[in-house]
Structure 1
Amino acid sequence: MLELAILGLLQEAPMHGYELRKELATKLGTLRAAISYGTLYPTLKRLKLAGWISEAETNSDIIPPMTSKRGRVVYKITAEGKERFADLLTQTGPETYDDTGFGVHFTFFSRTDRATRLRILEGRRRRVEERREGLREVLARAADRLDAYTLELQRHGLDACEREVRWLEELITNERSGRAPSHSRLGSAGASSSEPTAKPAAGMDTPPEPPRPHLDRP
């Protein structure tokens, strides 16, 4: 997945290692594991040996922090790298449907053909539905043995799964009808799937609502 992400970013513009690491963190979001230089540079070296990217020395004397002389090397995607990226976009499988794999592929959905997008969305929906059923089973079988906070955590996980399934079903419907989701819709869907649900746990007191101001009518 890191290979796919790097090639996709370098299709947008050449970058040095520091810029790549920053863009990877921005594109993939805070839910992705932090990408260290110890992970990034070996991957860049492997991509270069494969002929998918190339290096070019910059004339700048400004070296990004924490990068030493590596910051002077700019990475560019090659013609072979563009073909590799296009091939990776069409590959689907179990790893494509987990959290990280789905996130990386979804980042580049605008460059993915509709049939592949549908396969990935449907595979992701099956994965989340399996997770949802597992949480339902836990709650049905062991809810009375869980403390209030553990129970609330399980309920929150279930709520998140149900929201994501609804979101995926809407995306699948749009794909099948040929409609692209709007920027505002994607933003609201992403926010709703990551925000915690404010439910009081069992055995916990619900704080009273503040008094509402009285409005005199004329």
Structure 2
Amino acid sequence: MTEVKDDPFLNDLSLSLKQAWELLRAGAADRHSPLHTPVVATVTGAGTASQRIMVLRAVDQHSRRLRFNTDLRGSKVAEVGRGASVSLLGYHPEAKVQLRLSGKAEVQSTGPDADAAWEQASLYGQRCYLAEPAPGSPVDAPTSGLASAIEGVKPTPDQVRTGRTNFAILLVEVETIEWLYLAHRGHRRARFHWNAAAVRWEGIWLVP
């Protein structure tokens, strides 16, 4: 393999994996990061792929968990169920890195993690869960689903409180990470798989 003599992570698997997690953590913390809104793909009951942009809310490298907020009534909740496989895709143009991740997902609508996520959400974010009817429902005219009293204004805590019943978190336990560096001077591609028995990540170089 021809070495690209630049950033050390381009020729070091452990550093490439480290960079991937750093980009993910930054994506959760910085709403301006391109990785703040990755594509999340599930499989419908009919066996077809279903994709959507979601906001990455939290990253825990130790537990390999990514967190997203979601409406409990959304189609993705039924598609995920408990323990279904999901895939994520994001690209960071400044870092020149594409990340493809896959793992097992679950939805939690109750418990301390879901409660904490609800409390961390802004009032505008909480307002989203007041939409009626449920997201994805057919309607006769364009609509936000929000009542006129709260549409276009910052709601009060009392106004959004009932939205908690529709709020849930989507947790993804990452099992594979594919890291792709794109540049004219030479691409790099690696895949990492979590070895549960050995409790460690194992990586391999791939041809870009």
Where on the TM-score scale, by shorter chain, does this alignment land: which range? under 0.3
TM-score with structure 1 setting the length: 0.26
Higher relative contact order (CA 8 A, sep 6+): 2
Q: Which has the higher helix share?
A: 1
Q: Which has the higher strand share?
A: 2
Answer with 1 or 2: which has the greater Rg: 1
TM-score with structure 2 setting the length: 0.27
